[in-house]
Structure 1
């Protein structure tokens, strides 16, 4: 097993962004200075991490562009440890406690489920050629049926299968929106950490939130009639705050956007991770003007490695995006699409979600107890009704950068709030979906010690 060093932690984090689809091949990664600041390490540490990734063939330096993602398939797989080797970021023996990952731990999944599905497919596959432009037809039918059962009726011809939700965003941004557009989004927002729209010359306009989600009056105040744009929103279990947009607020947003011809991108990848009660109807289901493009995914609920997501929208829009996707990659993996179709088409997915919710509820309950035991006097937070994330704000003014540096040195990972706000923040994002209850407890207990020291 490779040693747990600061450069390895940086390198593994970069690999995770690529593996999860956040940085596509050809995408420019943050500069050495930015990475050094984010991880509170010397630039020499970042340089060592990048050299390691260059040797592995994962990134490359391009004159005039900086360091870009060279490959996210074979080179990335070759750099990962073999099955019997323990990954340092997932190892309890290594001392790493990961409170940053926005995904489910492997032990949340029922044993043998995926193997059962693959076994059922083994006698059905005759060939694995390129699929239709919109994706494997049985999968499009299964997604349409699943969304209809959810309360969002769509037809298979209104679905485009994409390689994860991130590719969906990239296709929409590059294929439908104009350079220089204003993108309105919740503040804080996931978009500040992925730079998809900024990389295409678009500006981000943060809109304030409350306990019901994005505030309509603030959107109205910041809306600019002279600039083209779109609203990007995560209405269910928002990343990073965990807020659920209320049904009344959804109707307000739909009404405003329809009246002002402001298109909406609804990122609904956390919808099925509800724990207390099912979410309100999707924006897409209530849209009567064809104003909403809907993004769904199996990455947060089933497997990030399948790289299966979809866009639901008006057929002419889906046709255009399908053309762009074919130009980009000739289609999502045929095998992954068949696996996903088997899950969705046979009702296995809904049964699987029941298991996931029970496991995630236990983790949320344990996380809540840990926070109340150790941080109730120095921080405030709202326990979400689902999803993975707790947005925690410190009551005193402390350096999140220094806290992050102390945590990394001790092998504890979390996300500083600044990567979601684009500036200074007194908040951090914690995830209870990945670390076990004992790890979460230990991480929070040790974190309190540094918080108190930094506040003096």
Structure 2
């Protein structure tokens, strides 16, 4: 029973509640929504979701089991029974479970799946979510952009994306020291699609990607699903270990280096300009292209960060990925890639084969906001608000976590990388926190980091941040 399913039995009709539940579950099985082997939620969870007593759920499940619809075994729980379809037809149904397990795209980390589900619950305090609070999104100026438009196209865009938007992004990047013509820019449906297109369009299964450790890249299966090996490069006090890059190049058939040098996810660190130049030189020497993820670059809070690697690159060695989602709202799904034209042409061809172009409506809105200057006006407002939120969380951490953890003050982005003084079972902490309505992002999602938690000050309200952090500190003390 998914979070999108809000069906509940009615207490205002003559049919008993257990019978309504019986018919509902039976219908899910008959329709194929719950195939053979599908594991039903626990009795307690069903009772909570359906807003009935647990005994009512137990009675309904016993009836279903008696009629051969479900099976129950100790340790495995309750699943749709193998004999189910004997009640419906002589022919066997499609074995959807085997299909699901045979897909080439790897399933996400179990904890990430749980986080993705919990984030849609209004009862959960989201302490790790990497997006702006809905109250901070510029809904009104986007609505105004549509209202003021005399012409609005709903046709397919070209593979590279709307020329108006690519031109606007080209002008904007020029202000950041990046020379990229509209023809060397491609619009994508968020930065994750950029990574996916690169994984299947530029790399083969013998490739290996050097990535920072810890890294956001470990929490998604984009490159792993393409059969590409991930080689972690530790982040030290000065940034990436350049000697480790050289060793990895000698050991593996390395294809590129993935890095978030500005307001890194999850640590929040910023690579200095001198170290950026060293990194460019090291990768040029080792003939390793760089994939620079700069989705947080606009969200500096105290002072502008150093120039991007792309701005410092004089050899065309950097693929640059940016996004408007972190500033204007994730629902727009607008990001972009700036790269040499042959690379853009290749990726645009693949994009046309997969989704035939990103939303024309979203592209229109972002182009309008970039052209009329409202994008930059909104960024200024976001910086002010995020600065207040960051400082508010830092104060809370000083009050409630001083004896539990250490952390650095982030200069931008969304995150604080909390390092616990003692290692505790993060999986258990995650579950106990979620039981109390608190959602966290343990460090184990980003690599072998079992004393860390990624906190975000961007999403939860001030009241939720205070309530959630106080409760989290109490839970950590229990360990």
Q: Same fold (TM over 0.5)?
A: yes
Asked whether the 8 Å contact 1:212–1:243 carries over to 2, the reply is no
Q: Which residue of 2 aligns with 1:437?
A: 462
Q: Structure 1 residues 46, 150: closer, same or farther in 2, change over 3 A?
A: farther
How far 1:65 sits from its partner (Å)? 4.0
Please give the per-residue CA displacement for 1:390-433, whole angstroms capped at 9, x wherever unaligned: 11111012111121111011000011111110x45111111110
C-alpha distance in 1 between matches for 2:178 and 2:78: 48
Q: 2:129 aligned with 1:101, yes or no?
A: yes
Q: Which residue of 2 aligns with 1:295?
A: 321
Please give the per-residue CA displacement for 1:78-99, whole angstroms capped at 9, x wherever unaligned: xxxxxxxxx98564xx3x2111
How far 1:180 sits from its partner (Å)? 2.2
**Any idea what SS the aligned residue of 1:208 has?**
strand
Q: Which residue of 1 aligns with 2:23?
A: none
Q: Which residue of 1 aligns with 2:166?
A: 140
Structure 2: gaps (5+ residues): 7-37, 43-74, 81-94, 106-117
C-alpha distance in 2 between matches for 1:43 and 1:354: 53
Q: 2:331 aligned with 1:305, yes or no?
A: yes
C-alpha distance in 1 between matches for 2:205 and 2:129: 32
Please give the per-residue CA displacement for 1:151-174, whole angstroms capped at 9, x wherever unaligned: 212111110111111111111110
How far 1:333 sits from its partner (Å)? 1.1
Q: Which residue of 1 aligns with 2:475?
A: 450
C-alpha distance in 2 between matches for 1:45 and 1:432: 39
**Match among 368, 375, 383 for residue 342 of structure 1:** 368
Asked whether the 8 Å contact 1:367–1:432 carries over to 2, the reply is yes
How far 1:135 sits from its partner (Å)? 0.9
C-alpha distance in 2 between matches for 1:133 and 1:433: 33
How far 1:215 sits from its partner (Å)? 2.5
Q: 2:353 aligned with 1:318, yes or no?
A: no
How far 1:45 sits from its partner (Å)? 10
**Match among 63, 80, 101 for residue 98 of structure 2:** 63
How far 1:335 sits from its partner (Å)? 1.2
Q: Structure 1 residues 68, 178: closer, same or farther in 2, change over 3 A?
A: closer
Question: How does 1:116-127 map onto structure 2 within 5 Å?
Answer: 116-121=144-149, 123-125=150-152, 127=153
Asked whether the 8 Å contact 1:162–1:309 carries over to 2, the reply is yes
How far 1:114 sits from its partner (Å)? 1.8
How far 1:274 sits from its partner (Å)? 0.5
**Any idea what SS the aligned residue of 2:327 has?**
coil
Asked whether the 8 Å contact 1:159–1:310 carries over to 2, the reply is yes
C-alpha distance in 1 between matches for 2:410 and 2:77: 39
Q: Structure 1 residues 366, 388: closer, same or farther in 2, change over 3 A?
A: same
Q: Which residue of 2 aligns with 1:57?
A: none
Question: How does 1:106-117 map onto structure 2 within 5 Å?
Answer: 106-110=134-138, 112-117=140-145
How far 1:281 sits from its partner (Å)? 0.6
Please give the per-residue CA displacement for 1:212-236, whole angstroms capped at 9, x wherever unaligned: 4222233223333651421000111
Question: How does 1:245-264 map onto structure 2 within 5 Å?
Answer: 245-264=271-290
C-alpha distance in 1 between matches for 2:135 and 2:365: 20
Q: Which residue of 2 aligns with 1:194?
A: 220
How far 1:388 sits from its partner (Å)? 0.6
C-alpha distance in 2 between matches for 1:269 and 1:88: 21
C-alpha distance in 2 between matches for 1:61 and 1:301: 40
How far 1:347 sits from its partner (Å)? 1.2
**Match among 447, 453, 462 for residue 428 of structure 1:** 453
CA RMSD of aligned residues (A): 2.7
Q: Structure 1 residues 352, 325: closer, same or farther in 2, change over 3 A?
A: same
Tell me the number of residue pairs that the alignment of Structure 1 and Structure 2 aligns.
388
C-alpha distance in 2 between matches for 1:445 and 1:208: 32
Q: Structure 1 residues 376, 9: closer, same or farther in 2, change over 3 A?
A: farther
TM-score (norm 2): 0.76
C-alpha distance in 2 between matches for 1:97 and 1:233: 30
Structure 1: gaps (5+ residues): 12-31, 37-41, 48-59, 71-86
C-alpha distance in 2 between matches for 1:62 and 1:167: 27
How far 1:124 sits from its partner (Å)? 2.1
Q: 2:418 aligned with 1:380, yes or no?
A: no
Please give the per-residue CA displacement for 1:190-228, whole angstroms capped at 9, x wherever unaligned: 111101111111111111113442222332233336514
Q: Which residue of 1 aligns with 2:440?
A: 414
**Any idea what SS the aligned residue of 2:399 has?**
helix
Please give the per-residue CA displacement for 1:247-285, whole angstroms capped at 9, x wherever unaligned: 111111100111111011000000011001111111111
C-alpha distance in 2 between matches for 1:420 and 1:187: 7
Q: 2:406 aligned with 1:396, yes or no?
A: no
Question: How does 1:213-232 map onto structure 2 within 5 Å?
Answer: 213-224=239-250, 227-232=253-258
C-alpha distance in 2 between matches for 1:88 and 1:226: 38
**Any idea what SS the aligned residue of 1:355 has?**
helix
**Match among 146, 161, 181 for residue 207 of structure 2:** 181
Asked whether the 8 Å contact 1:109–1:356 carries over to 2, the reply is no
**Any idea what SS the aligned residue of 1:224 has?**
helix
